[in-house]
Structure 1
Amino acid sequence: MFNRLFGKPKEQSNALATIEKLNETLEMLEKKEKVLLKKAAAEVEKAKEFTKAKNKRAAIQCLKRKRLYEQQVEQLGNFQLRIHDQIIMLEGAKATTETVDALRTGASAMKAMQKATNIDDVDKTMDEINEQTENMKQIQDALSAPIGAAADFDEDELEAELEELEGAELEAELLRPATTAPAIPVQSVPVGRQPARPTAQKNTAEEDELAALQAEMAL
């Protein structure tokens, strides 16, 4: 149904033109309704005047014309309801068609994307990435491997030797004597008393005097 109404751009343009025409007709009917209502009100006023003038026949004629105007107003109201109904249906159909077209466009785009990147392509790409990663890891391992004389060193032996050095250093640290002796507190000497000279200094003076006496005797 919607394809028949708005299946092509030209048909959609015709639908828009139809809605615009219906709106114009609705506006015209509303204006005409207002005019008829004014005429009916005018006939009522005339009927009142004829009633005051005791002209019953003329007053009745005014009321008849008022009824005719009211019938036309009622008819115009029905026309407006029909036009409103058509406008609502066309606008709803247009919105639905635009929604369906948008969904169809999205589905086509999704289908094209899936066709361009199917699951086999994804799996193939992931396999290539994993392969390149493994190759790079092998290259890095090859570049970091020791070469020449360093390649012949046994890592276990080197670690054992390092442990021996650490043990010897710890043992030497424990056996090393203290380099500084504890400080001996100095006792204060009372004022007026001289400290006693060491005995060694006294013996040296006596030996000097004896050597000087022997020298004089020799002369």
Structure 2
Amino acid sequence: MSGVFGKVFGKSKAQSQATALASIDKLSETLEMLEKKENLLVKKANLEVEKAKGFTKAKNKRAAIQCLKRKRLYEQQIEQLGNFQLRIHDQMIMLEGAKATTETVDALRTGASAMKAMHKATNIDDVDKTMDEINDNMENMRQIQDLLSAPIGAAADFDEDELEAELADLEGEELEAELLAPTTTSPTAPVRVQQPTRPSAQSSKTEDDELAALQAEMAIGQYIPSVVGTVDL
């Protein structure tokens, strides 16, 4: 029974959408026809104005007035056609808005139906079972990793407590050495190694001159005390 109603309502919805599209197309054609007719009337009104100007120059007042009357009639028709176009625009906007609303509701209804179907396909018991399997697999993997990382052979006999105590002793010795070390140390100047240079002839001559001058000063120093002693006598 529900299938029959679904077919009926589905067919009715499709027919309404087709009717809306046909109505919009018809309104568009009518609007285009009215615009063409309006343009034609505007040209005729302008032509009557030109005729009135010609009759005015020819001093034919009666003919000029007739032209202006026809121009007024054309202008009234142009205004009427403008009102018609405005109504058609209004109707088209309403139909397009209704069409958009219907499409939106259909999309929402389709999404709700898809969500409902997915909920039916997903069972809470299956989800719990799947999560249990995942947790079991992860626990098994952790146990395998623990077994693989466990020490074997000679390393398995080491006492962790003794190793930690030994490490603590080393850290204490390191801390004691840091406390006993002098707090300030004078910075040492970088030692600059001077490369040996080959003595030149000029430098050797200069050293000889300095040595001779030094010997002369020493000789004069010895001579002055002896002279002083002679004078005192």
Equivalent of 1:10, from 11, 15, 35? 15
Residue type of the partner of 1:109? A
Q: After superposition, what is the alpha-carbon deviation per residue over 1:131-152, rounded to whole angstroms, capped at 9, x for unaligned?
A: 46667888x69x99xxxxxxxx
CA distance change for structure 1 residues 136 and 56 in 2, over 3 Å: closer, same or farther? Answer: closer
Aligned twin of 1:47? 52
Whole-angstrom CA distance in 2 between matches of 1:61 and 1:111: 75
What residue in structure 2 maps to residue 209 of structure 1? none
CA drift of 1:16 comes to 0.9
2:49 counterpart SS class: helix
The one of the two structures with greater contact order (alpha-carbon pairs below 8 A, sep at least 6) is: 1
Q: Per the alignment, in what secondary structure is the counterpart of residue 8 of structure 1? A: helix
Tell me how far 1:127 sits from its aligned partner. 2.3
Instruction: Determine the structure 1 residue equivalent to 2:98.
Output: 93
Q: CA deviation at 1:96?
A: 2.1
Counterpart CA distance in 1 for 2:137 and 2:59 is 112
Please provide the CA RMSD for this pair: 3.0
In 2, Cα distance between equivalents of 1:36 and 1:14 = 33
| TM-score using structure 2 length | 0.53
Q: Which protein has the larger Cα radius of gyration, Structure 1 or Structure 2?
A: 1
Identity of aligned residues (%): 78
- Out of 108, 111, 115, the position equivalent to 1:110 is 115
Structure 2: tracts of 5 or more residues without a match: 1-8, 149-154, 163-233
Name the SS for the 2:59 alignment partner: coil
> What TM-score results when the alignment is normalised by the length of structure 1?
0.56
SS of 2:96 mapped into structure 1: helix
Q: Which amino acid aligns with 2:58?
A: A
Dislocated runs of 4+, deviation >6 Å: 135-138
